[in-house]
Amino acid sequence: MQTAGGHRMSVEMTNCGEWGWLSDEQGYRYVQLDPLSAKPWPSMPALFLKLACDAAATVGYEGFAANACLINRYRPGSKMSLHQDKNERDFDQPIVSVSLGLPLCFFSEGMSAAIKWISMPYFMVMLVIWGGEDRLRYHGVMPLKEAEHPVLGAHRINLTF
């Protein structure tokens, strides 16, 4: 995908589910058609839906029915700059984020853009649920370090529901 400024994002992205997050020259938003195929995004696998729903329920978000899954693929050097997830309509709903493959350094701070690093170097699988007062925290991902994961090779995959 492209940024609003016309740059190519270093993270490769696609979606599944009813809605997909899109970045292009017009900015960030959710759309129902994949602009590359002009077709709906692939449907959300039942296993994904259940994973996100069960995870959200463990921290009190009963009945979380994800209608979008952003699929991010990182290679060594890929990064995600500081952002807030605020293109959603209902901030009372949490975000469930599942990561597989290479570990990373994830950073987060309060409602300002000042940075605090959260290094998660030993986790090969990570599940994070963002809700409540943390829902609009700024966060980002440091450039992925060169390494090999036994299953995913030189990749990190993140699913954001």
Kindly indicate which of the ranges 31-39, 92-100, 115-123, 145-153 contains the residues binding ligand MD6, using the contact rule CB under 6 A.
92-100
Please tell me what DSSP assigns to residue 98.
Answer: E
Query: Residue 104 is encoded by which pair of tokens?
Result: 């990373």
Q: Would you give the binding string for ligand MD6 spanning residues 64-83, x where CB under 6 A is met? A: --------x-------x---
Query: What is the total count of residues that contact Fe ion (CB under 5 A)?
Result: 1
Q: Which of 75, 69, 58 is CA-nearest to residue 21?
A: 69
Q: How far is the CB of 50 from Fe ion (least distance, A)?
A: 22
By the rule CB under 6 A, 93 interacts with ligand MD6: no
Please tell me what DSSP assigns to residue 79.
Answer: -
Q: Which of 124, 131, 137, 138 is CA-nearest to residue 57?
A: 131
Residue type, 161: F
Q: How far is the CB of 141 from ligand MD6 (least distance, A)?
A: 5
Q: How far is the CB of 99 from ligand MD6 (least distance, A)?
A: 6
From candidates 68, 85, 98, 159, binder to Fe ion by CB under 5 A: 85
What is the Cα–Cα distance from 28 to 38, expressed in whole angstroms? 18
Please tell me what DSSP assigns to residue 132.
Answer: G
Which spans of this chain sit near ligand MD6 (rule: CB under 6 A)? 72, 80, 85, 95, 97, 99, 128, 130, 139, 141, 158, 160
